[in-house]
Every structure is written in C-alpha cells, then in structure tokens.
Amino acid sequence: MRPVDAMLHILREEGVTRVFGNPGTSELPFTDALAEVDDIDYVLGVHEGSVVAMADGYARATGRTAFVSLHIAAGLANGLVGLLNASRSRTPLVVTAGQQDRRHLASDPMLSGDLVGIAAAAVKQTFDVQHAHDLPIMLRRAFAAARRPPAGPVFLSIPMDLLAEDVDVDVPERSVLAPQGPATSLGSASQLLVSARNPAIVAGDGVGRDGAVAELVRVAEAIGATVYHQPMNDGVDFPGSHPLHGGMLAPTNQAIRDRLDGHDVVFIVGTHAFMAHHYTPVSPIPDGTAVVQLDSDPAEIGRNFAVRLGLCGGIRSTLAALVPLLCSPLAAARTAAAGALAAARWDAVQRKALAGYGRAPLDPLVAAHAVVAGLPQDAVVVEEAITTGVLLRDVLRQDLPGSYVHTVGGGLGWGIGAAIGRQMGDAHRPVVAVLGDGCAMFGLQGLWAAARYEVPVTFVVMNNGEYRTLKETLDNWDSRSTRAGNYVGLDLGSPALDFTRAAGFFGIESVRVTDADHLVEVVAKSTRSSTPLLVDVPITGHGGKS
C-alpha cells in the first residue's frame, strides 16, 4: 500500500469518519487523497483553535479518538491551546501536521520548524516520522497511546514528500486493548470506607470518562458518603439530583480543605491533582483525614498529598468490584441527612434566582437559571462561561452522563468549537453552549463551521462587556476602595460588543434577549430547531453594572 493509502486504511480501522483540519501546502497530499474516498469527511475550521476544540467535543461525544490535521509549524502553534486543554481533559486525539519537503528541509524553508519540539509540551507523546515504512506502525502507536490512561493528545509530524512517496508499505493490524481490570487491596479499601465515621467521596472526571457513574452511585449509597464533584468538573461524574450530591469543590486548596473538614475518610476517584486554580498556602486535605485514592493512572496516586491507600486500576471495574464489599448500617441515615442539606441548598438557590425574574439587565444567576429552565431533559450543556459558569453549576442538575462538557484546561476559545464537535458526534441530543463574552471572542471564528455544516447548536453569550472574573480576583487580593473601578485591560464593553452582528456575519440567526421568561422560551424553542442560533444576553457585570 502507498503511505497515504496506509494512513487512510488505519484511520478507518481506528473508527475515524471525520478529519478536523485546516490545510496548507504540506497537507495537500493528505487532503488530495481524501478527495478520492467517500467514507471519511473533512471538517474544515477556519482557525486551528476551533479545529482542535471541535475535535475535542467530537471525541467526547463519540467516545472515540478524534483525528486532527494541522498545517506545519504555524497551524500547530495556533492549535496548541486546544492541545493543552485536551491534555488536561484527557481527551484522546491523534494530531498530525505536514512537515516541509525533506529535500529542502535543511535550508529552513518557509513555515518549517521543530514540529515535535513545538508540540511536545502540549501533548503526551510525539512522533517524528522520517521513513515511509515507519508511518503505519507509528500511527498505530499514536492511536494506542492516545487512549491509554491517561488518555490525551498525541502528535505526529509527517513530511509532505513522505506521504506522496510511491512505495509499498506494510500495515500492521490493529491491536485490541482489553479494558483495565480492578485494583488490588479492595478488602483494605472497604475496611477504611466502612469504618469511617463521616466518609466523603470526590467524584473526578475519570468517573464520567470511564462510564462509571452508576458504579460510583452504588459505592456512595452503600456507605452513605457525601459526594463532591472535583473542582471545575468537565462532565457529569455523579448525578446532580442524587441526595448524596454535595456540590462542587471550589478550586483552591483552602476551599477544598474547608469543605472536607470533618470527614475522617475521603475517597478520591479519578481526579488529576484536584485542579486548584488560585494559590492558597495549605494542603487540600485536612489534618487527620485519611485518603483512599483510585485512579487508572499510577502517576496520580499520592501525587500532591499522601494517601492511606492508593488503588490503581480501571475506575469502573474497581468500583464495581468494591460494591459487594461495602455495607454500612449508617448509610440510610447519612443519606437522609445529606439529602435534607442538598434539598435546602437547592431551594435557596431557586428562590434567589426566581426573585430576579422580571428585572433588566439580567443578573447572571437569573440568566443561567433561565437557560436551564428552557433545557429539555436530554440536553447537553457545553460551558465556557467563567463567572456565570460557576453559577450555572448551582442551578443545573444533570443526571445523564455526558450532559455537561467543560474543559479543566482553562485555555479560552474552546467553547464554540467544542459545542459544534459535541453536536456532530451525537446528533440525537440538543446542544446548548453557554459562553462568556470574553471566551466567545477567543473562538468566534468557530461559528463559521456551525454555519457551513448546519450544526444546530444554541450559542448563549453571557454579555457583561468585561473579564469579570479577573476583576473579582483583583478585588479579592486587594479590597481597597481606592481601586474605584480602575482595572487595566479587563473591559470589552466599549464599544459594546453586539454578538447578533457577529452571528449575522457568519450567516447564523440570532436574537438579543433581555428578559428571563423570554430567554426560557428562546432556549426551549431553539433546542428543537435544526439550525444554529446565537442568543446575546446582556447581563450585569462587576459591581452590578451592565
């Protein structure tokens, strides 16, 4: 087989039916070969930030590794934020870029560069393909590495002349990977959990990714443990309406420590290092609290804090094996107590949000509540909404796994593309993207693909005309009243951003909504529609200004 045919053959066998890319000269041998096949589509993004974000959302929707084609050094560099996000979110991607023709590479031709060097800091493994015969085995290895725990993006540099070579290369068969089995020492783990006076569980994103939500529910119910979502969770790792759900841990060590205080045993499942954001000078684990930790990646165990017992194995298989070993006579009483607290928290936030209906401009909590009120049961929410996103998590109770999509990566400009990819990967569920105005600006070109491929996502932009979160951070550092609104580089609102005009430029329908009840209606209607819609929602900003 010719190298380029071997590449297409392997893509097919790895389940790739869509390539997300933006081409240049060095990718033309690949895109030209794609023109000859009708079972692999090329999805064009007009900026590599959107390309990688689409692939990220798509991989999460399909549960398969997504394939990305970027253009040499420049295209790869533009895609790096997405690769950093995918690394943090453990999204399996195989990413390629065409290298310059090797016959003049030594003379440093235009756009060439150290592709593996550029990619290396953002991905889990790189391959510098130099011989046509190496391409198939390296591509196979890349697909295997992308999904091996910890899953993530893997990069291959493929010289354009190599792909165009007319030589016959062998293609190795696809390796079949059995799922990870349960960890050892489950007897000791169950003893620690069952004998705890006040156990807690931290549900990390590894739970949702491993399809282990139902198993974690059984573990929690067997011992009556309160379950907290990891800080800034990427997905649904525990059902939001379950009485044992204690909410999300805030992303500082101090906040985590305060929340875990009083729990003598904490079972931490599938979370990378707790993902603290702002520095606080303490350990997230209270003194005297024993940690039992489970992860599919041995490097996570005891990484940032000591563990009483570390379990390394498949998350789903380990939790399933643990369930029959767990039983506590106190479970029912603990569940009832936790359920009463959860219900009180829920009622309080509902009352607070509903009290703001009828006022304009909308308070962000009210806007988030109205979006949620318009969602159908099976909706998927893709969130890149920063300060409104945190409030959204309080009013959104999702039970269906896969219903919430976020990136702990924190590199902005991901949301629009990720929502499009999420919808492309699973067209049966309506997708609503909730975006900060700042975030939307980083990834605005992504809208082009929504229009081009008629992807029916509802894009809701929470428009406060500012980087509110950074103003809040400054105020938390320094509450001097002398600051008096003096923030450098944090305002977007002058001239005011009219996102309906941006949507119009891309050929996407839009509406500006200033009333909560109207927002409920617009979201409900849009999620039944077969075309994309952008909803521009002016909200109050820092200090209550609009």
Residues near ligand TPP, by CB under 6 A: 81, 386-388, 410-413, 436-439, 442, 464, 466-470
63 by DSSP, 3-state: which?
coil
Q: Choosing among ligand TPP, Mg ion, none, which partner's interface includes residue 248 (Cβ < 5 to 8 Å by kind)? A: none
413 lies in the site for Mg ion, by CB under 5 A: no
CA dihedral 172, 174, 179, 180 (to 10 degrees): 20
Q: Which residue is nearest to ligand TPP (CB)?
A: 436
Tell me the closest approach of the beta carbon of residue 262 to ligand TPP, in angstroms.
32
Q: Choosing among Mg ion, ligand TPP, none, which partner's interface includes residue 417 (Cβ < 5 to 8 Å by kind)? A: none
Tell me the closest approach of the beta carbon of residue 386 to ligand TPP, in angstroms.
3
SS3 assignment for 140-178? HHHHHHHHCCCCCEEEEEEEHHHHCCCCCCCCCCCCCCC
Rounded-to-integer distance, Cα 331 and Cα 499, Å: 50
536 lies in the site for Mg ion, by CB under 5 A: no
Nearest Cα to Cα of residue 86 among 117, 125, 133: 125
**Per DSSP, what are the bridge partners of residue 312?**
295
CB closer to ligand TPP out of 87 and 289 = 87
438 lies in the site for Mg ion, by CB under 5 A: yes
464 lies in the site for Mg ion, by CB under 5 A: yes
CB closer to Mg ion out of 101 and 491 = 491
Q: What are phi and psi of 180, to 5 degrees?
A: -65, 140
Among residues 45, 436, 456, 538, the one that binds Mg ion under rule CB under 5 A: 436
Tell me the closest approach of the beta carbon of residue 364 to ligand TPP, in angstroms.
7
Tell me the closest approach of the beta carbon of residue 499 to ligand TPP, in angstroms.
12
Matching residue, tokens 């979160």: 469
CB closer to Mg ion out of 217 and 535 = 535
**Per DSSP, what are the bridge partners of residue 21?**
44, 69
Concatenated DSSP letters for 491-545?
A: B--SSPP-HHHHHHHHT-EEEE--SHHHHHHHHHHHTT-SS-EEEEEEB--GGG-
Q: Evaluate whether 26 touches 3 at the Cβ level (below 8 Å).
A: no
Q: Choosing among Mg ion, ligand TPP, none, which partner's interface includes residue 411 (Cβ < 5 to 8 Å by kind)? A: ligand TPP
Q: Choosing among Mg ion, ligand TPP, none, which partner's interface includes residue 412 (Cβ < 5 to 8 Å by kind)? A: ligand TPP
Tell me the closest approach of the beta carbon of residue 539 to ligand TPP, in angstroms.
9
CB closer to Mg ion out of 307 and 441 = 441
Tell me the closest approach of the beta carbon of residue 368 to ligand TPP, in angstroms.
11
The secondary structure of residue 230, as a DSSP letter, is P
- 238 Cβ neighbours under 8 A, 6+ residues apart: 201, 203, 207, 213, 216, 217, 220, 227, 229, 244, 245
Concatenated DSSP letters for 6-46?
A: HHHHHHHHTT--EEEE---GGGHHHHHHHTT-SSSEEEE-S
CB closer to ligand TPP out of 285 and 390 = 390
Nearest Cα to Cα of residue 96 among 75, 113, 78, 117: 75
Tell me the closest approach of the beta carbon of residue 232 to ligand TPP, in angstroms.
12
CB closer to ligand TPP out of 125 and 469 = 469
437 lies in the site for Mg ion, by CB under 5 A: yes
Tell me the closest approach of the beta carbon of residue 510 to Mg ion, in angstroms.
18
Q: Choosing among Mg ion, ligand TPP, none, which partner's interface includes residue 439 (Cβ < 5 to 8 Å by kind)? A: ligand TPP
Q: Which residues bind Mg ion (CB under 5 A)?
A: 436-438, 464
